[in-house]
Amino acid sequence: MKNTILYLALLFFSLNAFATETKLMVRARAKDAKFVGSSIGGAHVIVRNTLNGEILAEGHTTGSTGNTNLIMKSPHERYTQLSDDKTAGFLAVVDIEEPTLVRVEVLSPIHKKNARIQASTELWLIPGKDILGDGIVIEIPGFVVDILAPNTHQYIALESIPQSGLPIKAHIVMMCGCPIEAGGIWDSNLMEVKAMVKKEGQTVAKVPLKNPTQNTFQGVVPVSEAGYYQITVYAFNPKTGNTGVDIVNYVVTE
Span 227-234, average pLDDT: 98
pLDDT at 232 over 60: yes
| CATH of residue 86 | 2.60.40
Q: Do 63 and 183 reside in the same domain of the chain?
A: no
Tens of pLDDT, residue by residue over 83-139, are 999 999 999 999 999 999 999 999 999 999 999 999 999 999 999 999 999 999 999
pLDDT at 145 over 80: yes
Residue type, 164: S
Domain termination residue (choose one: 109, 140, 171): 140
Span 232-236, average pLDDT: 98
When divided into structural domains, the chain yields a total of 2
Q: Do 124 and 157 reside in the same domain of the chain?
A: no
Q: Do 154 and 129 reside in the same domain of the chain?
A: no
Residue 3 is predicted with a pLDDT of 61
pLDDT cut 90: percent of the chain above it: 93
Residue 1 is predicted with a pLDDT of 57
d(CA 101, CA 98): 10
In 42-158, at which residue ranges do the beta strands (DSSP E only) sit?
Answer: 44-49, 55-60, 90-96, 100-108, 117-125, 131-140, 143-149, 155-157
Tens of pLDDT, residue by residue over 127-141, are 999 999 999 999 999
pLDDT at 203 over 70: yes
| Euclidean distance between the first and the last CA atom of the chain, given in angstroms as a whole number | 79
Q: Do 83 and 124 reside in the same domain of the chain?
A: yes
Residue 220 is predicted with a pLDDT of 97
Q: Do 233 and 222 reside in the same domain of the chain?
A: yes
Q: Do 128 and 192 reside in the same domain of the chain?
A: no
In 6-88, at which residue ranges do the beta strands (DSSP E only) sit?
Answer: 20-30, 44-49, 55-60
Residue 5: pLDDT band by 50, 70, 90 thresholds?
low
Residue 231 is predicted with a pLDDT of 98
Residue 18 is predicted with a pLDDT of 78
Q: Do 167 and 184 reside in the same domain of the chain?
A: yes
Q: What is the residue range of 83's domain?
A: 2-140
Q: Between β-strands 44-49 and 100-108, what pairing exists: parallel, antiparallel or unpaired?
A: antiparallel
| CATH of residue 220 | 2.60.40.10
Q: Do 237 and 187 reside in the same domain of the chain?
A: yes
pLDDT at 14 over 60: no
pLDDT cut 70: percent of the chain above it: 93
Residue 16 is predicted with a pLDDT of 53
Residue 4 is predicted with a pLDDT of 59
pLDDT at 202 over 60: yes
Domain termination residue (choose one: 140, 164, 197): 140
pLDDT at 8 over 80: no
Could you say which DSSP state residue 66 is in? -
Query: How high does pLDDT run on average in the chain?
Result: 94
Residue 17 is predicted with a pLDDT of 57
Domain termination residue (choose one: 86, 111, 140): 140
